[in-house]
Amino acid sequence: MYEFATKTHDIVGYSYNADIYCPDHIVAQITSNPGDVWHSAARIGAAEMHLDLCARIKGVNRSDEGSFDGGDFPKVIYAEHAVAPGPNGEEDAESRADRCAICDEFLLP
């Protein structure tokens, strides 16, 4: 999860091709050559930088999410729209919470 997500407009993850990914794992989903960029300590910044570059190459307008399909290019998940696992860690709430398809980390604490 993104431990510094404190505001509702913070980016906590991405939806892509019917799955959900954390910032660490979204970049590897859209490129076969992720390089070193996504290993940076600045996880969100690195993911965003890389996605912006990929969008430019693919001709995707990221600022207008209605203009592209979530199966073709990742869409941003903001903290206000992500589902948290719930305060008590109940199994029910946990199964509904948004988590990364690769590492299984919750997007929200």
Tokens coding 74: 């990742």
Q: Which is nearer to Zn ion, 38 or 59 (CB)?
A: 38
Q: What spatial distance separates the first Cα and last Cα of the chain, rounded to whole Å? A: 6
CB 16 within 8 A of CB 54: no
Residue in 5, 25, 46, 107 binding Zn ion, rule: CB under 5 A? 25
Size of the site for Zn ion (CB under 5 A): 6
Binding segment for Zn ion (CB under 5 A), chosen from 6-14, 28-36, 46-54, 98-106, is: 98-106
Window 3-22: residues binding Zn ion (CB under 5 A): 22
Contacts of residue 50, Cβ cutoff 8 Å, sequence gap at least 6 = 27, 31, 34, 37, 38
Question: Does 103 contact Zn ion by CB under 5 A?
Answer: yes
Strand partners, 88: none
Question: Does 99 contact Zn ion by CB under 5 A?
Answer: no
Binding site for Zn ion (CB under 5 A): 22, 24-25, 100, 102-103
